Amino acid sequence: MLRKRFLFFISTLVVGLLGFFAAPRDTALGIPIGGTLYASQSVFDNFQYRLLMKKTLNGDAGALESLVKFDCGGGGGCYDHGEVLVQLLSKAGDVKFSSMVSGLSTETKYELRSLLAAGFEYGSSVQPSDSEVRFPMTIGSLTARESGGR
């Protein structure tokens, strides 16, 4: 009888742990992470990605830079990545996001501009043509022809 209970406990524990680790966690902070991007990353990379999203929303410019440089796997994964960045911009707000952008290198700004363009085009409720109206400070920081940055 004790052996049956023990085996039941172990099997329940194993199934529970498998369910926990296998369950998709393709949303972070209310922001959906596209399936192509999510599926192309390891469990650790997905954890890191969500952590960088949280730090970016808290105003961490270093986290934004790491997020921009995060390997999106190419193709559809990069469109998903751009969509996440657009959602972060929307949630953080133009003022906060543009202040993080201002400290980025010219190369990183270019990468961010490309990813945001993909995100606006791919799945955002904001049309690419409206992005300058909704986020004038951020788009201005990304398109300014200055030699600043790191």
Per-residue pLDDT tens for 44-74? Answer: 998 999 999 999 999 999 999 999 999 988 8
Assigned domain for 2 exists: no
The total domain count for the chain is: 1
- Residue 91 is predicted with a pLDDT of 93
Please, which pLDDT band fits residue 24 given cuts at 50, 70 and 90?
very low
Q: Which domain holds residue 68?
A: 26-143
Please, what is the average pLDDT of the chain? Answer: 82
What is the mean predicted confidence (pLDDT) over 66-90?
A: 92
What is the mean predicted confidence (pLDDT) over 21-38?
A: 73
Q: In whole angstroms, give the CA distance from residue 6 to residue 147.
A: 67
Selected residue with higher pLDDT from 137 and 20? 137
CA dihedral 100, 104, 109, 111 (to 10 degrees): -100
Assigned domain for 38 exists: yes
- Calculate ∠ Cα 92-107-131, nearest 5°: 40
Angle between helix axes 94-102 and 61-68 (nearest 10 degrees) is 80
Dump strand ranges (E) for 1-126.
27-28, 31-32
